[in-house]
Homo-oligomer: A and B are copies of this chain.
């Protein structure tokens, strides 16, 4: 077969291999200018203007090393675009390597299984061929979870895209649950649920280009900031196909029967098997909503308000704070204040009593109303709240503009108990800021927001920005990322709250997790994936 054996519909909208979303989508000229001006004027981070992402035909792609058996012809391809598209996820190092044209680790073959039998056949073939197999949902990994960096022990790499397994198979509107295939992207599954009046309402920032199976494999965190934030809590049962066989947990609202099989599959990141389907818990579409915004003079006062709301047992749909730097980067503030957003919603009852109490918690801690929730159904679109919301939605498109201009701009997130939060916050900001200075030779910017909050602690989400060198961007990024990750682990946080481990966090994950638990996972992998072909280097060291 030639290199250009394409699969599927060539008239469908094409995903960008160099950034977020479909071809034709992205920041417009004015948005890009505004972003670059903010960096330059606000933080002295000046873009170089000589970079661009390579055109598809310019990319130097190694010859494919694998030939699929005839029986798999209908689901395998080595088409140039497909190999390039599946070579990377959406992290900044991925973006940098795309910009550099470094496609030496691109997959040899991309497969689109249509059912579990196809997956089993792919396992058999890869096992026999000595090939590594990288499961791929929406390709939104920002931690190297879908790259071909599988080490040198394999004769090739097959990336398995679950995109054809994207159906809602069954809806149970009595229990409010649905059986959904692992390859269903957010909009696909919500569109199929819509006629039932029910919704999963799991909205990670990657929603449009990430899949249910990917969410479960990576312990995705949704937009909702308290209570059922992680997909972990929305899973009723899971089916995972491993090289050794298939595992289906029983569909149950609750159980006390031994260690949870679901919680073993959740977070397994494609290293133990491929999640082919799951029963997930749904809810009614919200009818009652309220959003309020509060300004705080400083981030730590806002954090105290979040703690009060989180410990009050109110369970808002949203309770986030954003510091002055992050508001400034996103054109939603001048750097002089921090913002807190609180939302409640319900499909069942008015939420005024809930919101009134949460508001009091904010006022008690020095909050000043930015957007009032009373009789204001458009509160989420107004004031600093609305400005930050708009920026948040556009954020994934920034990377492809910044990387070619030599700007380092990335995020990482953690979680920490409240008693250690303040020290943690200062330590991470200082370590990251110092690393930017050391790596780039000049001042950068570090910002913080809370993406999620629990009664016992927040999930702080940091962003860092610096003016890099076009010819050393990857090394500079690594230097900063390493320093930040070292600080997160030594200060007691988790290396990831919802971005997953992937290859980029594996070293710190091994420091975080109990050593013997690492051995248990290695034994588990030996049992499920005896030839060690599944996503090598992720979760279990290869």
Contact = CB atoms under 8 A, between A and B. Distances in A.
Interface of A: 172, 174-177, 218-221, 229-230, 232, 236, 242, 244-261, 263-269, 281, 283-284, 307, 311-315, 346-349, 352-354, 357, 415-419, 452, 454-459, 492-501, 505, 509, 512-517, 519-521, 523-524, 526-528, 539
B263 A513 contact: no
Nearest to A233: B233
Given A256-B219, A263-B263, A313-B346, A456 B236 contact: yes
Given A264-B259, A419-B175, A253 B456 contact: yes
A260 B509 CA distance: 12
Contact of A252 (B311, B352, B415, B419): B415
A263 B283 CA distance: 25
Given A261-B517, A501-B258, A253 B523 contact: no
B514 A261 contact: yes
Given A313-B348, A457-B252, A494-B252, A257 B261 contact: no
18 contacts: A176-B455, A177-B456, A219-B256, A247-B516, A248-B514, A249-B517, A252-B457, A253-B416, A253-B456, A258-B269, A259-B521, A260-B263, A264-B264, A283-B311, A311-B348, A520-B528, A523-B524, A523-B526
B254 A459 contact: yes
Nearest to A520: B524
Contacts of A236: 417, 456
A514 B247 contact: yes
A257 B496 contact: yes
Contacts of A459: 253-254
Given A264-B520, A520-B528, 9 more contacts: A172-B417, A177-B456, A246-B516, A250-B492, A250-B494, A255-B415, A283-B311, A348-B357, A516-B527
A57 to B, nearest CB: 38
Contacts of A254: 221, 229-230, 415, 452, 454, 457, 459, 494, 497
Contacts of A261: 513-514, 517
Contact of A256 (B250, B416, B499, B519): B499
A267 B526 CA distance: 23
Contacts of A260: 232, 263, 266-267
A505 B257 contact: yes
Nearest to A345: B313
Contacts of A346: 312-313
A457 B250 contact: no
Given A417-B251, A492-B250, A520-B524, A257 B176 contact: no
Nearest to A281: B456
B257 A284 contact: no
Contacts of A514: 247-249, 261
A318 B268 CA distance: 35
Contacts of A259: 263-268, 521, 539
A252 B513 contact: no
A242 B494 contact: no
A417 B519 contact: no
Contacts of A517: 247, 249, 261, 264
Nearest to A352: B353
A517 B172 CA distance: 26
Contacts of A232: 260
A496 B539 CA distance: 31
B527 A523 contact: yes
A203 B455 CA distance: 20
A496 B172 contact: no
Contacts of A516: 242, 244-247, 527-528
Contacts of A349: 312-314, 353, 357
Nearest to A495: B257
A224 to B, nearest CB: 12
Q: Which of A281, A456, A497, A499 has the most CB of B within 10 A?
A: A456
A454 B253 contact: yes
Contacts of A519: 527
